[in-house]
Structures are given as C-alpha cells and as structure tokens.
Structure 1
Amino acid sequence: MHIESIPMWEGSGNNYAYLVTDEKTKEAVIIDPANPSEVLPSLKKAVDGGTKVTNIINTHHHHDHAGGNAEILKTYKVPIIGGKDCDKVTKTPSHGETFTIGESIKVKAFHTPCHTQDSICYLFEDGNDKAVFTGDTLFIGGCGRFFEGTPKEMDKALNETLAALPDDTKVYPGHEYTKGNVKFAIKVAQSEPIKKLESFANSNKQTQGKFTIGDEKKHNVFMRLDDPAVQKFTSKTERVDVMAALREAKNSM
C-alpha cells in the first residue's frame, strides 16, 4: 500500500489527511479530508495519474476531521465510512469489522470511544506492512483530550485495544502534536525512549508513520500507567487515577 500524508496546516490544528492506495488496483481511500482546499489538489493529481478514490474514511465527527466531507463529495461521489456522528456518513463499521481496499489492503475497525464516543481507529494491512490511523485517540507520544469520555475509556482504547496491535504497526495520527507531547512527557519521565523521541521531534517537522505501536509503549506516558516514574509524577497508583492525573496535567500546560 502507498500512504500519502497531506498536511492541512492552514489553520492552527496541524491536521493530517491521508490518501491510502492499493498499488495493484490503484483503488484508494482518503482519511479525514477536513480542509478540502488543501486536499483536493492532491486528490486531483492522484486521480489524473490513474488512482480511483472509492471511499472517504473518518476517524470521528469533529469538524477538523469530518468537516470537509460535503465539499469533497461534490467532486468525488463516494460512500463515507466513519463514526455514527460523522457528517454524511454512509456506513459505521462495528468494532472488529473488516473490509478491503482494492485487492491487497485489509482494514479492521476498532471502536475507541473517549475523545468522542464515535471515535474509530483503522488498522490497514498489506502483506507485512501494517499502519493504524488513530485520529485523535493516539498521537505520537500522547493522546487526545477526553471530550466525550472518561479516563477508563482512554486506558482501554490505548492500553487494551491499540496496545494489542502488532508492535511493528506504524502510527498515523490525526495531528502533528509530537513536539508538545514530548515537552510534557519529559517532565513526567526522563527515560531514554522519551529522550530519543524529543531529539527526533526537535529535528523533524513531521513525525507521522515514523513510530510504531511498539515505540509508543516505550515513550508514550499515557501507555505507561504502571511505570513507577509516571506514578510518582501523578502521585497515583491506580491506572484510572494515573490516566486522569496525566491528562489533567497535560491540559494545564
């Protein structure tokens, strides 16, 4: 599979859309095309080169992820796969449901309610290549705010659902927030993995697809709730309490 990152950085959100193409059939999906003015040129270039866009996929209903659906549909009249509250959604896959893109890409949907109740992460597999598109649930070195959910739900989303994916699964989040995440993480724990992430973030503007689920388990403090350093920072030991305290501390940065 071919993954093209489309930065949507005209606003302040530093969002990413992703165009994922099955290289055998040239069938492709566009994930979270929230700002059409930045996405449509990339889609046109791909389509002019023989790519066929078959679906829009949304990770959740927030405007900076699903807000471009109506405009994209004017040019590409395709079904929308996404959470139940996403604009113009055609189909909401159930937790664990699978579908295919072209001949080679198998997609599995994982419900990860917390940031929003309709949040869905999507695991894409093509042979040995694995990528997970995590929206605002999992960021490189961080996680989304608990707008519609609880610390317990985020613990489950990160540390049961996503942590169970193969360690070599590359992570493609909805935003480029790594610098801010690692600035917080280094206050929590000064581990070598966190220092390595800090070094990478300081020298690279884009970090999507550069780290794996295995990496996140090492440098993402929200996936290290049992780590003594993390518990010391929060002055908590129960997982849900640690998660709540971490998010509260990050929110107040």
Structure 2
Amino acid sequence: MLQIDALPAFNDNYIWLLQDNASKRCAVVDPGDAAPVQAWLDGHPDWTLSDILVTHHHFDHVGGVEHLHNLTGAKVWGPALENIPARQQALNDHDCIEVLGLTFEVFLLPGHTLGHIAYYQAAPAAPLLFCGDTLFAAGCGRLFEGSPEQMHHSLSRLAALPANTSVFCAHEYTLSNLRFAQAVEPNNADIQARLDEVTRWRAEGRISLPSTMALELRTNPFLRVSETSVKQKADEWNEQDNASPCAVFASLRSWKDKF
C-alpha cells in the first residue's frame, strides 16, 4: 500500500513523498529543496530514495534534484522539453513509467511552462495525479510561458479524469484561490463550504491537500468556464462577450493575476 505525505518546503511548496512500505523504497515529486527530503531520509535510515519525479523546470521544483541524486543515486525523471538538472529519463506525452511498482502515465500540459508534465496513476479504486503547478486546489498556475489556449486545453484534459482522482498539486494556495472562486461565483454553496472548511484546517495547522477532481469540478472556476454564471462574471471583468470557454478562461486568468 502506497503512503503519500507532504514535506513542506519554502513558504508554501509541498514535496510529495511516496512510500512503499513493503520494499522500504520511496520517491519524491518536485524537490525544490533537498533539505526536507534529506531530513526525512536521515530519520528513516532503512529507507532508500529510488526515484525523483519532476514536473517542470522552475527552481522551487528542481533546486534540490541534483543534490539528492548525487546523495542517493535516485533516478531522475523529467520533461523532455525542459532543462532539468541531473535528468536521466526524458519524458514525453503518453509515456508510461514504473515507479515503486506502479505505472504512471505522463501528460504534457503546456501553459504554466511550455514543457510542464504531470504524472497520472490510473488505479480504478484510487487514481493519483501529481500535477505540479498546472492545476491547483480551486485554481491553476500562472501563464509564464504558455498561452491561454494551451492552459485551457491542459486543464480540460485533467478535468476529464475520473472524479475520484486524488489531486496532488505543489503549493498551499487553496485559501487565496477559494477567495477568488467566491468572487467569481458568490452563490456557489460548494465554494462557501470549502472555504469554511479550509479556513478551519489552516487555523489548525493542517494542509488543504490533496484535493479530488470531483471537488475541483464543483469549486474551481478555471474548470467551470462553461457555466453561465462564470461566463457572466468573466464578461463583466473584461467588458466583452467571451464567446468561447477558452476566452472565458483567459478573462478569469487575467482577473486572478490582479486579484
């Protein structure tokens, strides 16, 4: 049985730690800082770091990769279209890899960066998605390199995954994202309930992740661009008729950048 824990890093990053208790092997996703991972390994000397999975090239996701690779010999997987330190296996869309005895499919998701990838494990009972900075809880990543069209397509691809998919994103942005979601859909009871719950969790020192795709479809405005109420707010924001879901997305992303 795979155990997944979050190792906090920097101000709001999470490094996801995947643990196979049977083999005492583990893997990490996006170790922007080696120190939290090294501290965990020091506290668990009978464990081996076997794999490092990288979603994109930003420093807060790759800063610890080379050190951990040199320290442990862990295999480094990363996007083929980006420069990833110590990468040994370059990954493209639809590639399948085996990590800790599980098969993950690679999705190419341009938008936040041009070569951003995600890792999806399609177990029927409990699918897993490690999506980096593409999809956030109640939000999505900024468009540093890609276009609104690319990001909308990437998010639509993720939105089509099974509703019970667990969503492991890389930052604790949920509260601020939900405040924006509430501005977009002030009458959405699911958003209000989630905002209340996450506010309580954060006050108790708990993290807000992982999410589920079902929850995102109910509360994430960037996945709800076909809803009439969302379009109306997007039209108000940029004072035009956003005739397509992609145009609604572009308006929302521009609004969120200034929110």
Normalising to structure 1: TM-score of the pair?
0.92
Conserved 8 A contact 1:22-1:101: no
Paired residue for 2:245, among 215, 218, 239? 239
Aligned residue identity for 2:228? P
Separation in 2, partners of 1:135, 1:2: 19
CA gap 1:248/1:42 in 2 versus in 1, 3 angstroms: same
The total of aligned residue pairs comes to 245
Deviation at 1:51, TM superposition (A): 2.4
Provide the C-alpha distance between the structure 1 equivalents of 2:14 and 2:68, rounded to a whole number of angstroms. 16
Task: Identify the residue that residue 27 of structure 2 maps to in structure 1.
Answer: 29
Dislocated runs of 4+, deviation >4 Å = none
Q: Deviations over 1:192-244 (max 9, x none)?
A: 121122112211121111x2111111110000111111101111231121111
- 2: distance between equivalents of 1:74 and 1:25? 22
* Aligned counterpart, 1:72: 68
Deviation at 1:79, TM superposition (A): 2.0
- Asked whether the 8 Å contact 2:27–2:100 carries over to 1, the reply is no
| Match runs of 1:133-148 below 5 Å | 133-148=130-145
Residue 238 of structure 2 aligns with which residue?
none
Partner SS state of residue 128, structure 2:
strand
Separation (CA, whole Å) in 2 of partners of 1:164 and 1:127: 15
Compared with structure 1, are the counterparts of its residues 22 and 106 closer, same or farther at alpha carbon in structure 2 (3 Å cutoff)?
farther
Shift in Å, 1:73: 2.2
Match of residue 3 from structure 1: 4
Superposed, 1:178-197 pairs within 5 Å as 178-190=174-186, 191-197=188-194
The yes-or-no answer on 1:221 pairing with 2:227 is no
Give, as a single letter, the amino acid of the residue that structure 2 aligns with 1:147. F
In percent, how many aligned pairs have the same letter?
A: 29
> How far apart, CA to CA, are the structure 2 residues paired with 1:37 and 1:102?
22
Q: Which runs of 5+ in 2 are unaligned?
A: 236-241
Check whether the contact 1:226–1:237 (CA below 8 A) recurs between aligned residues: no
Supply the distance in 2 between the matched residues of 1:125 and 1:45 (Cα, whole angstroms). 31
1:248 corresponds to 2:245: no
Report the equivalent of 2:167: 171
Counterpart residue number, 1:57:
53
The question of whether the paired residues in 2 share the 8 Å contact of 1:33 and 1:39 is answered with yes
TM superposition shift of 1:78: 2.0
Aligned-partner residue type, residue 189 of structure 1:
E
**Residues of 2 paired with 1:53 and 1:203: CA distance?**
34
Say if 1:62 and 1:86, in contact at 8 Å, map to a contact too: no
Give the secondary structure class of the aligned counterpart of 1:165. Answer: coil
CA distance in 2: counterparts of 1:187 and 1:144, whole angstroms: 18
Secondary structure in 1 matching 2:50: strand
Partner SS state of residue 5, structure 1: strand
Cα deviations across residues 91-135 of structure 1 (Å, max 9, x unaligned)? 1222121122233x2211111011001111111355622221110
CA contact (8 A) 1:80 1:88 kept: yes
Give the residue type in structure 2 aligned to 1:137.
Answer: T
Instruction: Give the secondary structure class of the aligned counterpart of 2:127.
Output: strand
CA contact (8 A) 2:135 2:169 kept: yes
Q: Which residue of 2 aligns with 1:212?
A: 212
Shift of 1:59: 0.9
Matched-pair contact (CA < 8 Å) for 1:136–1:144: yes
CA separation in 2, counterparts of 1:216 and 1:127? 19
1:112 aligns with 2:109: yes
Q: Which residue is equivalent to 2:14?
A: 16
Ranges in structure 1 where 5+ consecutive residues have no aligned partner:
none
What amino acid does structure 2 have at the position aligned with 1:158?
A: L
Indicate the RMSD between aligned Cα atoms, in angstroms.
1.5
